[in-house]
Amino acid sequence: MATTIPTSAFIATPHRCSTGRSSAIWVQKAQFSASSSSLGVSLSLKRPSLRLVSVRCEANGAGMPVIPAEERWMYEESEINGPDIWNKTWYPKAADHVNTEKTWYIVDASDKILGRMASTIANYIRGKNLATYTPSVDMGAYVIVINAEKVAVSGQKRSQKLYRRHSGRPGGMKIETFDQLQKRIPERIVEHAVRGMLPKGRLGRTLFTHLKVYKGSEHPHQAQKPIPLPIRDKRIQFVKK
Amino acid sequence: MNKDKIFKLAKGFRGRAKNCIRIARERVEKALQYSYRDRRDKKRDMRSLWIERINAGTRLHGVNYGNFMHGLMKENIQLNRKVLSELAMHEPYSFKALVNVSCTAFPGNKAVPKKEGLSSIL
């Protein structure tokens, strides 16, 4: 890829940078071959001069040295031509899902239909909007929800939707309506909605921690510079009749 | 003879299943059955993963997977889903070109999303 991709969060090609290991091996082999080869062939090798610290992203593209045909049997295919990206389905390495480099989104929940908003949030948290989506790896973004107490529901749900929880003991079921829960703990409504839409399991639980819901319009994540969440659903705005 | 082979296959199993022959034999048989079944499942899972990735990639450009593939089929582009998903991840400009080809062949989606991220450059 000779294209200069701007560092936008959506498409990252960091997997290329993980050939650092192979280039380090190559450096060691090159030292051996330089000392023992007396082929008389003018080797136009661009050898990094005795570099033991491998620079990851430099190992690809222009930095990939040309291995002459006589020495090609010494090396593996991936060392000669780089990693095979067309025949093996890409799987993210650890450097591809570092939490500190993930995007942060922000949604204002006032007068948004609860379920529709929760659905788009869950999609972004899971990473399903990215072409690099992997189900077993957390590739998604962080989402901040503000004004959670102003979230809207249609129909009679405000007084009729029930939130149930059970303490585990017999007779220990507690029931609350949407209204009552919104007065008591408004964040829980949005959290409950999004948690139901995220996968259930170990990964789902860590994904849930990437959702941050706040009651007012203030949030402590200014340093992450969150960008507004792009919502494509046209029926998400609550229209009062 | 057989016991050694069983124990070799039972490496990494939990508890007594890796050490006691009676239990190991059962678990190894089950493991081999699972691997037989999953060699066939892997092909299905991979294809659905490619389709999910292509879907995400095309939705960045305002087209969904169904209309995209329909357009490609109309133009007789025989790239398979594995290659399409790798293009979507690693060659975004080429992928955008494919999406354009598909849109000219089958203009299915009307609503174009607000430009964000890479799409705004393309």
pLDDT string in tens for chain B (122-residue length): 699 999 999 999 999 999 999 999 999 999 999 999 999 999 999 999 999 999 999 999 999 999 999 999 999 999 999 999 999 999 999 999 999 999 999 887 765 555 555 555 55
Buried b (16+ CB within 10 A) or exposed e, B82-97: bebbbbbbbbbeebbe
Residues of A in contact with B42 (CB under 8 A): none
B82/chain A closest Cα distance in angstroms: 7
* In the predicted structure, residue A4 carries a pLDDT above the cut 90: no
Question: d(Cα A155, Cα A107) in Å, to the nearest integer?
Answer: 23
Indicate the residue of A5, A89, A129 with minimum beta-carbon distance to B49: A89
Question: d(Cα A51, Cα A54) in Å, to the nearest integer?
Answer: 7
Contact (Cβ atoms closer than 8 angstroms) between residue A182 and residue A149: yes
Question: Tell me: the pLDDT tens digits for A42-55?
Answer: 444 445 455 455 54
Beta bridge partners of A229: none
Which residue is it, tokens 């829960």? A181
The predicted pLDDT at position A23 comes to 41
The predicted pLDDT at position A63 comes to 59
Residues of A in contact with B52 (CB under 8 A): 128, 133, 135
Q: Could you tell me the two tokens for B60?
A: 């960045």
Q: In this complex, do B53 and A132 lie within 8 Å of one another by their Cβ atoms?
A: yes
How many CA atoms within 13 Å lie on the side-chain side of B44? 5
In the stretch 116-135 of chain A, residues with CB closer than 8 A to chain B read 128-135
Q: pLDDT confidence of A240, banded at 50, 70, 90? A: confident
- Vertex B71 angle, CA B69 and B72, to 5°: 65
* In the predicted structure, residue A38 carries a pLDDT above the cut 60: no
Residue type, A233: D
- Vertex A107 angle, CA A106 and A111, to 5°: 165
Residues of A in contact with B111 (CB under 8 A): 232
Q: In this complex, do B89 and A6 lie within 8 Å of one another by their Cβ atoms?
A: no
Its pTM stands at 0.77
- Of A74-88, A169-183, B54-68, B104-118, the poorest mean pLDDT is in B104-118
Quote the longest CA-to-CA distance of chain A.
Answer: 89
* In the predicted structure, residue A213 carries a pLDDT above the cut 60: yes
How many CA atoms within 13 Å lie on the side-chain side of A199? 17
Q: In this complex, do B89 and A135 lie within 8 Å of one another by their Cβ atoms?
A: no
Q: Is A9 on the interface with B (CB under 8 A)?
A: yes
Question: d(Cα B73, Cα A161) in Å, to the nearest integer?
Answer: 46
Contact (Cβ atoms closer than 8 angstroms) between residue A78 and residue A84: yes
Q: pLDDT confidence of A7, banded at 50, 70, 90? A: very low
Name the E strands within chain B. Answer: none
Q: In this complex, do B90 and A133 lie within 8 Å of one another by their Cβ atoms?
A: no
Which residue is it, tokens 């990206």? A85
The predicted pLDDT at position B118 comes to 55
Residues of A in contact with B91 (CB under 8 A): 1, 3
Contact (Cβ atoms closer than 8 angstroms) between residue A27 and residue A54: yes
In the stretch 83-112 of chain B, residues with CB closer than 8 A to chain A read 83, 85-86, 88-93, 111
Q: Is A37 on the interface with B (CB under 8 A)?
A: no
State the average pLDDT over residues A85-109: 93
Q: In this complex, do B90 and A90 lie within 8 Å of one another by their Cβ atoms?
A: yes
Indicate the residue of A86, A131, A232 with minimum beta-carbon distance to B83: A86
Q: pLDDT confidence of A1, banded at 50, 70, 90? A: very low
* B16 to A99, B5, B8, B32, B33: CA distances (angstroms): 38, 16, 14, 18, 20
Nearest to A1 by CA among A94, A96, A66, A82: A82
Question: Tell me: the pLDDT tens digits for A116-150?
Answer: 999 999 999 999 999 999 999 999 999 999 999 99
Burial class (CB in 10 A: 0-12, 13-18, 19+), A62: exposed
A14/chain B closest Cα distance in angstroms: 10
The predicted pLDDT at position A42 comes to 43
- Higher-pLDDT residue of A38, A75: A75
Name A36's Cβ contacts closer than 8 Å, sequence gap at least 6: none
Considering only CA atoms, give the Rg of chain B: 23
Residues of B in contact with A6 (CB under 8 A): 118, 121
